[in-house]
């Protein structure tokens, strides 16, 4: 098995309702503007690299998150950038 150089694993605390879109590409449950918000966050964080979503934890309540600072149900999303 070949390991890839410049591979980076990052954990983000993100709204749990983003999971269907990030993991499965299913935007059906999103409200107006939410898909664009998610896409903008991902584009900024991937910084020109490819991104693969590797894992999502069990949800919990937090007073903020890494994407928009709002409180709500969140999870740890593990991303692999390469």
Residue pLDDT, tens place only, 50-81? 999 999 999 999 999 999 999 999 999 999 99
Any domain includes 1 = no
pLDDT in tens, 13-50: 999 999 999 999 999 999 999 999 999 999 999 999 99
Q: Is residue 33 part of a domain?
A: yes
How far apart are alpha carbons 75 and 56 in whole angstroms?
6
Instruction: Let me know if residue 64 belongs to a domain.
Output: yes
Instruction: Tell me the residue range of the domain where 47 lies.
Output: 8-81
List phi, psi (to 5°) of 24: -110, -5
Instruction: Tell me whether residue 3 is in a domain.
Output: no
Residue 2 lies in a domain: no
Per the structure, how many domains does the chain have? 1
């Amino acid at each position: 098995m070949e390991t890839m150089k410049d591979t980076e694993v990052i954990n983000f605390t993100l709204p749990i309702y983003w999971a269907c879109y990030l993991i499965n590409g299913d935007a059906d449950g999103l409200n107006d503007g939410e898909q664009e918000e998610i896409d903008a966050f991902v584009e900024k964080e991937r910084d020109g690299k490819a991104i693969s979503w590797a894992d999502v934890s069990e949800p919990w309540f937090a007073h903020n998150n890494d994407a928009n600072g709002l409180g709500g149900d969140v999870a740890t999303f593990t991303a692999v950038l390469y």
